[in-house]
A = this chain, B = another copy of it.
Amino acid sequence: MNALKERILREGKNLGNGILKVDNFINHQVDPALMNACGEEFARRFERVGATRILTAEISGIAPALMTGLHMNLPVVYARKTKPITMPDTVYLTVAPSHTKGRLVELIVSPEYLGQGEQVLIIDDFLASGSTIQGLVRLAQAAGSELVGIGALIEKAFEGGRAALEHLNVQIESLACITSMEDNEILFSD
């Protein structure tokens, strides 16, 4: 998606070690119009997968998932990283290693909002190693839901996340696929 790629080239910062800073429009400051366009594009690409619910992880997945939900007219569930007091005693919980935090984080979903008969579309900000998304997949499986697609705003192809998800046999889409961040450059797949 050109609008996203252009924004990454113009305002993204390659901090080295494969870390891409996009705090200017996704991860700390958010551009609602860009997120809306991304949501519209995800809705177009996943139009035919039959999703009944969108699943993401707090925090940075919320904006793209919400805009995708708006255009697909679907509810959005975001996995919590701490269990709030409003959640039932018994929940689905998995742990996933966090790249940016350097430790395991918990991903928690209430059985109230994920269950049998749901067709789940996962939307997140990054597809890097795929570990967060794999955690979301495990939550959907634990709930007895069917996974129907995976979408990420930005894919870091050199971290192998897509390969780790391919056995799931669902449509995987990224709106900006980065193949290299070496030599302080950012290169896209097309």
**Cα A100 to Cα B84 with chains together (Å):** 7
Judge whether A80 is part of the interface by a CB distance below 8 angstroms.
yes
- The residue of chain B having its C-beta at the shortest distance from the C-beta of A71 within the complex is B32
The interface size of chain A toward B, counting residues with CB under 8 Å, comes to 42
List the B side residues contacting A27 at CB < 8 Å: 84, 86
Residues in B neighbouring A113, C-beta threshold 8 A: 23-24, 28-29
Q: What is the oligomeric copy number?
A: 2
A19 interface contact, C-beta 8 A: yes
A67 interface hit (Cβ, 8 Å): yes
Question: Which residues from chain B contact A69 at a C-beta distance below 8 Å?
Answer: 30, 32
* A59-B62, A86-B15 given; A75·B21 CB < 8 A: no
User: Which residues 53-95 of A sit at the B interface, judged by CB distance below 8 A?
Assistant: 58-59, 62-63, 66-67, 69-70, 73-78, 80, 82, 84-87
The verdict on A112 contacting chain B, using a C-beta distance below 8 Å, is yes
How far apart are A17's CB and chain B's nearest CB, in angstroms?
Answer: 10
Render A37-61 as a binary contact track against B, CB cut-off 8 A, 1 for contact.
Answer: 0000000000000000000001100
- Which chain B residues lie closer than 8 Å to A31 at the CB level? 75
Shortest Cβ distance from residue A118 to the other chain B in the assembled complex, whole angstroms? 11
A selection of 22 A-B contacts at a CB cut-off of 8 Å is A21-B86, A23-B86, A23-B112, A24-B112, A25-B75, A27-B86, A28-B78, A28-B80, A28-B87, A28-B110, A28-B113, A29-B75, A30-B77, A30-B78, A32-B66, A32-B69, A32-B75, A33-B70, A33-B73, A62-B63, A66-B67, A86-B100
A-B contacts besides A35-B70, A59-B59, 9 pairs, CB < 8 Å: A23-B84, A28-B78, A30-B69, A30-B77, A32-B69, A32-B75, A58-B58, A59-B62, A62-B66
In the A-B complex, the 6 residue pairs with the closest CB atoms: A32-B69, A32-B70, A21-B86, A29-B113, A30-B76, A58-B59
